A and B are shown apart, each in its own frame.
Chain A
Amino acid sequence: MTARIGVVTFPGTLDDRDTQRAVRVAGAEAVPLWHRDKDLKQVDAVVLPGGFSYGDYLRAGAISRFSPVMATIIGQAKAGMPVLGICNGFQVLCEAHLLPGAMLRNTELHFVCRDQRLRVETAATAWTADYAAGQEISIPLKNIDGRYTADEHTLDELEAEGRVAFRYATAGATADGYGNPNGSLRDIAGITNAAGNVVGLMPHPEHAVEPLVGTGRTDGLGFFTSVLKKLVTA
């Protein structure tokens, strides 16, 4: 028996099949979940993949957050089930108030697709245990509304509680994917809840799991192996 990891498809989700593949590459079973379905099919963890759910109309993630599947996921997440939100999935988690803050339009006002250098700030989450705090990884970034924003108080709280999970790596060179690509406050690329089971980030670990495709790196595989180990040993 291996872990069952659910991957949600909302109308307009794009990276669901890629995420299912990443789950399989890590050795877990990928279970497709449909937005209209409240039933999570006994999955052990859930990924909300990237895309433009509901066309990002109104506000990215604002409509998906009210889907039947989210009603169940919100309850399960509060009960400790590992949940990862990638890009649009991160936006949904913020809209659902499982994570604080919001994403604004990138400062350059256009879509950015690139291989992005990140610093993993904490290994103390369900999705980052296979990394070391301070480790740098490169995974693809691709969005137009990726500028993380929250009020000063929230930002201070996130920092103090060690809940900034990933930062855009700005040290060193300006080329090769270094630098804050979108104006995110305090270079924040991803955050976790206090319990460490709910994690959201803008870049895409599911696009960096095979050496053959994408950027040719496998730096994103650790997200999926982290949660798998936690679930199998739990």
Chain B
Amino acid sequence: MSRMSLDTVKQAEQTPEADQPWKELGLKQDEYERIREILGRRPTGAELAMYSVMWSEHCSYKSSKVHLKQFGEKAPQTDALLVGIGENAGVVDVGQGYAVTFKIESHNHPSYIEPYQGAATGVGGIVRDILAMGARPVAVMDPLRFGAADHPDTKRVLPGVVAGIGGYGNCLGLPNIGGEVVFDPCYQGNPLVNALCVGVMKHEDIHLAKASGAGNKVILYGARTGGDGIGGVSVLASETFDSTGPSRRPAVQVGDPFQEKLLIECTLEIFREKLVAGIQDLGGAGLSCATSELASAGSGGMRVELDTVPLRDATLSPEEILMSESQERMCAIVEPGKVDRFLEICEKWDVIATVIGEVTEGTRLEIFWHGEQIVDVPPRSVAHEGPTYQRPYARPQWQDALQADHAGLLARPADAAELRAQVLALVGSPNQASKAWVTDQYDRFVQGNTVLAQPEDSGIVRIDEDTNLGVAIATDGNGRYAKLDPYTGAQLALAEAYRNVAATGAKPLAISDCLNFGSPEDPAVMWQFAEATRGLADGCLTLGTPVTGGNVSLYNQTGEVAIHPTPVVAVLGVIDDVTRRTPIAFADEGHLLYLLGDTRDELSGSAWAQVVHDHLGGLPPAVDLERERLLGEILISASRDGMVDAAHDLSDGGLIQAVTESCLRGGLGARLVVPDGLDAFTFLFSESAGRAVVAVPRSEELRFTDMCGARGLPATRIGVVDGDAIDVQGQFALPLAELRAAHESAIPALLA
């Protein structure tokens, strides 16, 4: 790897025993030996660099692949999926000739080291994935998880992450319409920064990442290549942090959103003129990934003159150029006759574009440096035939004790005054409080199509101004539930996101997932992963929502301590007429409140247990996906036929949290009556799944209850929208002003 002497293929053949830094590059002994076997010689420095990044956990999914297979094997029958797992992002048919592509990814590790740039480039990367499919990006969302809200380091990480997401996303002109902010001490050394992007195109505009057609040119365009992010995927995202080691900062990329905005507009214009035969963004593993994946998915041969790559730093070695994760770059395969026009459009947008190679008749990926060959590999062996591990997994011994320590053992409020105090504590706790301090740093209005944005149940953007067709997206995940039972926890995340999309009136179609876990080398973590993926795959089969793609983030742990297993699920839905969308706000006095679904004594893993007792134990709420589907159908019908004016899903914090949010959003109070057969405490705080609260105009009451009765969905009248307090009859009254103060001041008080 010395910069002084170039390590060519010829030299590799002549010096088979040369010492190579495979270990420093994150490869294992057997992996290095396999590379030698594939090549029939030792790899050159450049080849070693490529294999090391492409065979990293982050790029190769070597620990997770055997479990992820289920998403394909158990995929539900659907006509909606146009492009499935394996491409930059999945593509879903939403009707009227439109296709929607969406994906969620993690940028966890970089965001802990360098919060601003880590989070910013996370947005940049996912946006390029969506762009590469041929779509115009139309919205973003960021599910975030941090350590304890009052921990001093949270005050370093959170504002940096939020500023980075805003600084990058706002500058791209993409509305940020949802996401999550969750605090838990388990994320103290491993914050989770997941980023989602959704894009829209016509069916015929779908583009794929493949290089075919011998003689076609390989064009690298966008930013110059620099020394940032070298080994980001292999060193950062695929190992556990060692707090005593040297600073990892040089492995974090630096973003330039202005360059990305130009790249978006330039690429969309190139698509409009149908100038590309294949396209791939440069993200993790940079050029190594783009060239090997394009060649691997195409006819197989590609020749690249690496010295033609425009550099920000002229001293970079070929190995560094191949590994660099410099942002805002794309790689296109273009027919020779279209190259001039392609370059012209790039010039119009002030985007640097360079022909760096061409597709060949052969089957090898060949890379040259000033005429000397430094790479000669079968591209599939780099991109698609990396190692696969059957990691051992075992249910941890502590799982039984954790599940036995259930919330039924916790003291419940003794009287109405204590109940009232606990409600106030809950809605003002960091996890349940308003996140406006965060989301007001994101632009939710740009593009002028935002129909719903946070704190609504799902974000909805209009995609056709004439027909009012729109798409809805919600992301959810609950690491506490998943820690108690990873199988059920993953299904609860799916159920909640599904419910959130349906509550706004949209029909759920497909999902993308971001699976955040600890080290795969720990059998307990691997068991959590195996259980969660099994739960998710089974759940998607039942709900009829295929997994379209996503991302796995492992090694989220500090020393021996892993984060809670945290599968985050994004559900995409379609709504034929966005004017029918259902908001959460209780905005009309006299509307009747109905609780849909069954409420059981399910407090284990709840927000109440966390806020009041700092407790986690027991079994999470039971999941009934058939019930979720029925609830969804009722919510969608009610929205379409104008039977409800507001709907809010019930999840963490239970009924009282949902009613508080809906009342504050609408500026009106509610009178609630505890239904027969329930005690006030369970009524207010239980987190039973498959539930929602809706506001029904009196004129629609009969029609609505008839529909629920006919379909067999329990619907219980629990009160009325009224006044300026939440008045739980026979228990307590809480003025909205008092609730608002608690709910809205908590986060600014901790972070501002």
Contacts and interface: CB of A to CB of B under 8 A. Distances in A.
B441 interface: yes
15 contacts: A14-B171, A14-B172, A15-B173, A18-B448, A51-B173, A52-B171, A52-B258, A54-B258, A56-B171, A111-B167, A113-B444, A113-B445, A140-B445, A210-B448, A213-B448
A55 B166 contact: no
A134 interface: no
B578 A214 contact: no
Interface string A40-60: 000000000001101111000
Interface string B149-191: 0000000000100110011001111000000000000000000
B170 A142 contact: yes
Contacts of A140: 445
Contacts of A111: 163, 166-167, 170, 441-443
A213 B262 contact: no
A108 to B, nearest CB: 8
Interface in B576-602: 578-579
Contact of B258 (A12, A18, A110, A204): A12
Interface in A75-112: 108, 110-112
A207 B578 CA distance: 17
A114 interface: yes
B232 interface: no
A17 B441 CA distance: 22
A51 B173 CA distance: 7
Contacts of A56: 171, 258
A204 B445 contact: yes
B441 A57 contact: no
A150 B173 CA distance: 29
A207 B448 CA distance: 6
Interface string A110-145: 111110000000000000000000000000101010
A23 to B, nearest CB: 12
Nearest to B348: A36
A57 B446 contact: no
B441 A18 contact: no
Given A14-B446, A52-B171, A114-B440, A212 B258 contact: no
Given A14-B261, A52-B261, A142-B446, 20 more contacts: A18-B446, A18-B448, A21-B448, A22-B448, A52-B257, A55-B171, A55-B256, A55-B257, A55-B258, A55-B259, A110-B162, A111-B163, A111-B167, A113-B442, A142-B170, A206-B448, A207-B445, A213-B451, A213-B462, A215-B445
Interface centre among A22, A108, A110, A140 (most CB of B within 10 A): A110
A47 B330 CA distance: 32
A10 to B, nearest CB: 11
Nearest to B441: A111
B442 A212 contact: no
Interface string A203-223: 010110010111100000000
A114 B442 CA distance: 9
B447 interface: yes
A205 to B, nearest CB: 12
Contacts of A210: 448
Contacts, number: 91
Contact of B173 (A14, A207, A214, A215): A14
Interface string A190-234: 000000000000001011001011110000000000000000000
A16 to B, nearest CB: 9
Query: Which of B257, B444, B462 has the most chain A CB atoms closer than 10 A to its own CB?
Result: B444
B163 to A, nearest CB: 6
Given A11-B349, A12-B171, A18 B447 contact: yes
B258 A142 contact: no
Nearest to B752: A108
A96 B470 CA distance: 40
Interface string A139-169: 0101010000000000000000000000000
Given A55-B171, A213-B448, A213-B450, A12 B261 contact: yes
B240 to A, nearest CB: 33
Contacts of B449: 213
Interface string B73-111: 000000000000000000000000000000000000000
A82 B580 CA distance: 38
Contacts of B259: 55
A48 B286 CA distance: 37
A210 B262 CA distance: 28
Nearest to B453: A214
Interface in A16-30: 17-18, 21-22
A214 B446 CA distance: 9
Interface residues of B, number: 36
A15 B261 CA distance: 12
Given A113-B441, A142-B445, A212 B171 contact: no
A14 B451 CA distance: 18
B720 to A, nearest CB: 24
Nearest to A52: B171
A212 B445 contact: no
Contacts of A51: 173
Contacts of B256: 55
B385 interface: no
Nearest to B169: A111
Interface string B670-697: 0000000000000000000000000000
A118 to B, nearest CB: 15
Contacts of A55: 171, 256-259
A12 B441 contact: no
> Counting chain B CB atoms within 10 Å of each CB, which of A22, A51, A113 scores highest?
A113
Nearest to B350: A11
A12 B266 CA distance: 12
Which of the listed residues B349, B448, B465 has the most CB atoms from chain A within 10 Å of its own CB? Answer: B448
Contacts of B450: 213-214
Nearest to B460: A213
A27 B256 CA distance: 37
Contacts of B448: 15, 17-18, 21-22, 206-207, 210, 213-214
B742 to A, nearest CB: 14
Contacts of B173: 14-15, 51
A182 to B, nearest CB: 12
Contacts of B350: 11
Nearest to A36: B348
B447 A110 contact: no
Interface string B378-421: 00000000000000000000000000000000000000000000
A108 B163 CA distance: 12
A11 B450 CA distance: 23
Nearest to A115: B445
Contact of A214 (B166, B445, B465): B445
Given A18-B446, A54-B258, A111-B170, A212 B451 contact: yes
6 smallest A-B Cβ distances: which pairs? A55-B258, A14-B173, A18-B448, A207-B445, A52-B171, A111-B441
Most buried by B among A21, A54, A213, A215: A213
Contacts of B447: 17-18
Contacts of B349: 11
A219 to B, nearest CB: 13
Interface string B461-483: 01001001000000000000000
A204 B175 CA distance: 14
A156 B257 CA distance: 38
